[in-house]
Structure 1
């Protein structure tokens, strides 16, 4: 028996093990790991918000702080939601394994393996992007110290964190300890975001594969021409193929609905904070570029904005793929010569065609359906908020 966990979820498993979220690992050490990492993220947000106590809260200052706080909140939402739904993630993994084990047709196995490879490619690409982002982000934080070392100057300049935080201690004296905490929080947050995101993307890719398998079964069900003098055995075979297509189609829909129901609230808040993160960081980019032109701050805002935009795009792209693959079943059921089939087969095909008339996708709270159109709407909303903030500033 082939394990899809080992073959197609190996990269996601490594990332989830690193941040203590792998659903098959429920030891005390894993829970302690989760508590430590979650505490680091929470403390990082708290010490950013404490700057409001010790500093004058101007509009620019509030935007500067919240532009990073909101992205940290998104990381915490993903991290915690995945932890509390670990049993559901494990259950879905077991369901996928059962579906894979039930496949007997070599073409169907090839289809599901193709989408498994797509999931692995998504994971590899996003891991590469995040590694580059972490390196750039960390480099922006320590760049002033690197310049001082390269310049070989004996003058000691006051060291300052590029991220606004207030730890209520001497930041000059404990600079490297504070920098270590900031870097740890960023690495944990980005790693957990990629780990959870790629895991969900992999699940959605398998759903696309299941929809394609349903289409394949429909297209091949009536290859044996059904006529008045056809043998009963072939009629039963065609009927069995259509039933199996309806069955895997139903399983794919149930799989999708179940997964969305478990993460619906967290996805809703991610959309809100994601839009605000993108808006604030676009504003920060224009603000820095038109005034101080601080390269370190500019790079940090650019990296955060790019990650937010990419995450928003990939999430909606996957949602669009779900909708498109669902529609393939309707097209397949409509194009085959259903009128020459037996009455009981026609009823099953009619059921699929009726289902196809209703749109299906990743529906978040009845307000958002993940798609390219939804991505465009969210991006336009972010730009609208940025325009309002920029016009008020002017």
Structure 2
């Protein structure tokens, strides 16, 4: 028997850290949720308040929006899981129920392999996020280190650290350490949120790929040479049962995938819009700061762009993998010795071939199909909007 929760051990730790693990609903976790959400929301509020106290030029507005949209990305991801906690739990229970029905050793090996893929991907993303968090935590002692090593004065270092423009309605220099603590806290919670929610969705999608792979494996086992050489009543029953089990696991995999997409499709559409707009604004911010020689701001916006592109690429890549695994059952069925099977079996297989001849796409609200082609389309759209902003400045 396979415990699906073991495959999500690291995800469980990350989600527990921000109070979003669906099996943990204590008063402490509810306090965690409120606290984390308020901290993330306050970061965006204090950035937009800068528009009140500062003259709103085009460059300044774009600067505020480019950073505020990035922190809004944290909030949307957090809220996406917060409001769907019950649905995430149902998804894990459905996946566990499906895995409990697997008896064949090869099928168990397949789902274990995809479970190991989940743990590996989660570990890599978590390691990357931890490096980012450590850099953010070390920021307060960088002035002393850099002043000694590179002979740079502390005031310049503080300007590098506070590239994110905020307005707390207090003396920025006097409360610099508290402001820096707030920004670092937001980055820590936000990076954990992106890692935890993103890898959880990724892990569910990887397990769906595993279920599709099991469906293809069952189709491969239908028309074995031994069965075809001796067509009798017993073998007829075996063939019918194997076809039924193959179709059944494929149906469950499709149902699991559809529920996964339907649960998060509203939030995913909003995230897609945020990514396109933010990429355009941050590319324009890089152009403006590069022309002004502000290297630190260029680095900050480059990090934002890299995060958006990585998130978008991984999401679209796993969407394409889901489609490929779903459609693989058609090629597996077509390449089998179905033409040597008895007529009654050929008629049953014909339904699978007719269903499989229709390309299966993972459709989000009928507007977006995750794939590498759509990733390129989103990138092109962002560059187009950047071109519009650039032409407006000329």
Could you state the TM-score of these two structures normalised by the residue count of structure 1? 0.94
Q: State how far apart, in whole Å, the 2-side matches of 1:71 and 1:173 are.
A: 27
Q: Is 1:280 matched up with 2:281?
A: yes
Q: CA deviation at 1:253?
A: 0.4
Unmatched 5+ stretches in structure 2: none
- 1:319 is matched with 319
In 2, Cα distance between the equivalents of 1:158 and 1:221? 68
Q: Match of 1:34?
A: 33
Q: How does 1:146-295 map to 2 (within 5 A)?
A: 146-148=145-147, 159-160=158-159, 161-224=162-225, 230-291=231-292, 293-295=293-295
348-357 or 163-172, which deviates more: 348-357
Report how far residue 276 of structure 1 moved: 1.2
Equivalence for 2:381: 381
Rounded Cα–Cα distance in structure 2 between residues aligned with 1:134 and 1:296: 18
Aligned residue number for residue 9 of structure 2 = 10
Q: Deviations over 1:103-148 (max 9, x none)?
A: 1111111111111111111111111222233344556687556534
Structure 1: segments with no counterpart, 5+ residues: none
Partner of 2:42: 43
The residue aligned with 1:332 is: 332
Task: Name the CA shift for 1:145/1:301 in 2 (closer, same or farther; >3 Å).
Answer: farther
**Deviation (angstroms), 1:61:** 0.6
Cα 1:307/1:140, change in 2 over 3 Å? farther
| 1:309 and 2:313 aligned | no
Residues 146, 152 of structure 2: 8 Å contact kept = no
Deviations 1:34-92 (A, max 9, x none): 00000001111001000110111111111111111111112111111111111111111
The 4+ residue runs of structure 1 with deviation greater than 4 A are 136-146, 148-160, 224-229
Flag the 1:256–1:157 CA change in 2: closer, same or farther, 3 A: closer
Spell out, residue by residue over 1:147-173, the C-alpha distance to the aligned partner (whole angstroms, 9 max, x if none).
Answer: 346678998779553210001111111
Relative distance call for 1:152 and 1:375 in structure 2 (3 A) is closer
Secondary structure at the counterpart of residue 368 of structure 1:
coil
Determine helix, strand or coil for the equivalent of 2:221.
helix
Q: Is the 8 A contact 2:144 2:154 kept in 1?
A: no
Corresponding position of 1:53: 52
Q: Is the 8 A contact 2:143 2:154 kept in 1?
A: no
Structure 1's 153 and 393: CA in aligned 2 closer, same or farther, altered over 3 A?
closer
Cα distance in structure 2, aligned partners of 1:155 and 1:79:
35
In structure 1, what is the Cα distance between the partners aligned to 2:227 and 2:157?
85
CA-to-partner distance for each residue in 1:338-358, whole Å, 9 max, x for gaps?
223234432332222122122
Between the two proteins, the alignment pairs up a number of residues equal to 392
Which residue of structure 2 lines up, in the alignment, with residue 129 of structure 1?
128
RMSD: 2.2
User: Residues 182-240 of structure 1: CA distance to partner in whole angstroms, max 9, x if unpaired?
Assistant: 11111111111110110111111111111111111101111045569622111111111
Deviates most, 314-323 or 161-170: 161-170
Counterpart of 2:351?
351
Structure 1: how far apart are the matches of 2:135 and 2:349?
54
Does the CA-based 8 Å contact 1:141-1:296 persist in structure 2? Answer: no
Once residues 260 and 49 of structure 1 are traced to their aligned partners in structure 2, the CA distance between those partners, rounded to angstroms, is 32
After the TM superposition, which of the residue ranges 147-156 and 107-116 deviates more from structure 2?
A: 147-156
